[in-house]
Amino acid sequence: MRIQGTDLFCGVGGLTHGMRLEGIDISHGIDTDPWCHYPFEANNDSTFILEDIRNLNGKDLSNLFSKNNTKLLAGCAPCQPFSNYVKANVKEKDSKWSLLSEFSRLIKETRPELVTMENVVRLKRHDIYSDFINELKSMGYWITEREAYFPDYGVPQIRTRLILLASLLGPILLEPPKYDPEEYRTVKDAISHLPKIEAGETSKYDTLHRSSQMSEKNFKRIRASKPGGTWRDWNKNLVTKCHTKEKGKSYHNVYGRMEWDKPSPTITTRCTGFGNGRFGHPEQDRALSLREAALLQTFPEYYSFDKDEKNLKMTPIARLIGNALPVDIGKVLARSFKAHLRRYGYDGT
C-alpha cells in the first residue's frame, strides 16, 4: 500500500519535492499564489491547483486520491499570523488566522491515515493550536510534536520550527536528528562552489544565480563588515540614522555578512537584500543570490523557479524561496512516514 499525498499549502514545492525524492507520491499541490504554479509542476511531476482551501470540501480532496492508497494530507499553513505574538493578537480576525481551522475541517471530512503540519513554534501559544490538537485527538489520531532545529537534520540554516505528525494507525515518531553541532552543514558546504558574481550581476551559467544591485553607501558598508559581525563594526558615518536611536540599537542582525563555517541565518522572503538581515556574502561584496538562497533552503541546483529564466523578477522569486519548507525537511518527514508504515506491516512506499 503506497502513500499518496496532497499538499494543501504547497508553495513552490519544498515539502513535495523532498517527499518525492524519498519515494512518496505527492500527486497534487494546492495554493492561492499563481507564482507557485510553474515551479511546483515543473519540478515535481505533480498537479497544481490554484484554489483557496476554504472553498474546498472533503469530497473535492477525496477525488484527488486513488483507491487503496494510504492517504497523506499535508498542511503547512502560512505562518505570518503567528510569527509575532502582539501582531497576531491584534490581527486575530485576519483571513489567514482561520487556515488551521480549515485544515482541521478538511482532515475531518477526508479522514486521511496520515497528517503533517509545520509552522512557527510561537503557534503553540495560541488557542487555535490547542483546538487543532484536541480535534485531531477526538478523531482518533495519534500525534507527535517536536520543535525541530533544522541544522540537526542537515539543513545549513538556523531555523527552528514546530513539526507535527499524526496517524490513525498508531503511535508515530519523527525521525531523530542525525547531525551533532560539529557536523552541521555550513554556508561553505552549500554555496562555496558557485561562481563569483558582482552585485547586480547574473551568472552566465545559471540565471538564478543573480544578486541585487547595491547603492554606493551599501558597498561601503559591506566592505566594512566582518563575517558574523554587525553594523557596530562600522565607522560612525556609515551607520544608519535609525540605528543611532535607542530603539534601533537593539537591531544588530541586519547589514551583516554570513560566516562560511556556520549555518546561515534563517532565510526569509527578503533574503536577497543586504539591509534585511545578515544576508551579505561571506567574501563577495553583495547580498545572497537567488540560487544561494535556494541552496540554503536545500533545493537541488536543478530546481527551476520561473519559466522565463532570462527575465527573472527578484522580489517574487525571493518570496517564494523564503516561504518554502526546506526540501531536506520534506525528506525527513517522508522517511518518518515510511518507517511508521513499516512498523505496522506495510512496505512504506
Q: Are residues 21 and 162 in the same domain?
A: yes
Average pLDDT, the chain: 90
Is 348 within a domain?
A: no
Q: In the structure, what pLDDT confidence band is assigned to residue 317 with cuts at 50, 70 and 90?
A: very high
Q: Are residues 123 and 18 in the same domain?
A: yes
Is 252 within a domain?
A: yes
Q: In the structure, what pLDDT confidence band is assigned to residue 103 with cuts at 50, 70 and 90?
A: very high
What pLDDT is recorded for position 24?
96
Q: Are residues 133 and 210 in the same domain?
A: no
User: Would you say residue 110 has pLDDT above 50?
Assistant: yes
Q: Are residues 150 and 51 in the same domain?
A: yes
Share of the chain above pLDDT 70, in %: 89
Is 166 within a domain?
A: yes
**CA–CA distance, 78 with 29 (Å, rounded to integer):** 15
Q: Are residues 61 and 118 in the same domain?
A: yes
Q: Are residues 81 and 224 in the same domain?
A: no
Is 110 within a domain?
A: yes
What pLDDT is recorded for position 334?
98
User: What pTM was estimated for this model as a whole?
Assistant: 0.91
Q: Are residues 169 and 34 in the same domain?
A: yes
Domain that holds residue 271: 187-323
Q: Are residues 133 and 219 in the same domain?
A: no
User: Would you say residue 337 has pLDDT above 90?
Assistant: yes
Q: In the structure, what pLDDT confidence band is assigned to residue 296 with cuts at 50, 70 and 90?
A: very high
Per-residue model confidence as pLDDT tens digits over 202-240: 999 999 999 999 999 999 989 888 898 877 777 777 777
Residues with Cβ within 8 Å of 73's Cβ and at least 6 positions away in sequence, in order, are: 5, 6, 8, 61, 103, 106, 107, 110, 112, 114, 115, 116
Residues annotated as catalytic are 79
Is 136 within a domain?
A: yes
Of residues 313 and 193, the one with the higher pLDDT is 193
State the maximum Cα–Cα separation within the chain, in Å, rounded to a whole number: 68
What pLDDT is recorded for position 81?
52
Q: Are residues 286 and 196 in the same domain?
A: yes
Q: What is the CATH number of the domain that holds 39?
A: 3.40.50.150
Q: Are residues 319 and 330 in the same domain?
A: no
User: Would you say residue 2 has pLDDT above 50?
Assistant: yes
What pLDDT is recorded for position 40?
98
**pLDDT (average), residues 10-39:** 97
Number of domains in the chain: 2
What pLDDT is recorded for position 268?
95
Q: What is the CATH number of the domain that holds 282?
A: 3.90.120.10
What pLDDT is recorded for position 94?
52
Is 349 within a domain?
A: no
User: Would you say residue 243 has pLDDT above 60?
Assistant: no
**CA–CA distance, 119 with 121 (Å, rounded to integer):** 6
Q: What is the CA radius of gyration of the chain?
A: 21
Q: Which of 108, 88, 8 lies closest to 48 in space, CA to CA?
A: 8
Q: Are residues 256 and 157 in the same domain?
A: no
What pLDDT is recorded for position 327?
98
Q: Are residues 126 and 21 in the same domain?
A: yes
What pLDDT is recorded for position 78?
72
